[in-house]
Structure 1
């Protein structure tokens, strides 16, 4: 029951948020996700997982403060999905 509630909260927050991240940065983010060890994704706390992913993105592109905030917000809204994907592998 708790997992269903988390997913519903995730969907609600995704719908409510209007986060516009450039397609290029989104591609870099998902590429970074694919490069991280899936076991690490499941074991790291949210803060450390977000940091690992954003560092990989920022190694590839320079982001201004506003873009960084948008990336952080987008990533925060996708952490549950990222963990679900890692768990499925």
Structure 2
């Protein structure tokens, strides 16, 4: 049982490290979210919403493929939060 717990902790740390996004890029992402119409945030499917937000970020900064993948993973993990925030407005 202890061995399984160690493996799960290792996997959790690895996942967290792989999703670590540059703080500047995170700020750009949330700025992009704040600039999008709240109705669009609620009505667009996840894939389209991710695309719109990612394009806004990429308009402001050039991302290499690794940073782009991290941004996509981070954004995917925050879509529910983004929709909850838009719904609260």
Fold shared, TM-score > 0.5 on shorter chain: yes
CA–CA distance in structure 2, aligned partners of residues 36 and 54 of structure 1: 12
Q: Summarize deviations over 1:19-75 as a string: whole Å, max 9, x none.
A: 110100000000000000000110000000000000000000000000000000000
- Aligned match of 2:63: 63
- Aligned match of 2:42: 42
**Number of corresponding residues:** 74
| Secondary structure, aligned partner of 2:63 | coil
Structure 2 gap segments, 5+ residues each: 1-11
Structure 1 gap segments, 5+ residues each: 1-15
TM-score (norm 2): 0.81
TM-score (norm 1): 0.81
Runs of at least 4 residues off by over 6 Å: none
State the Cα RMSD in Å.
Answer: 0.7
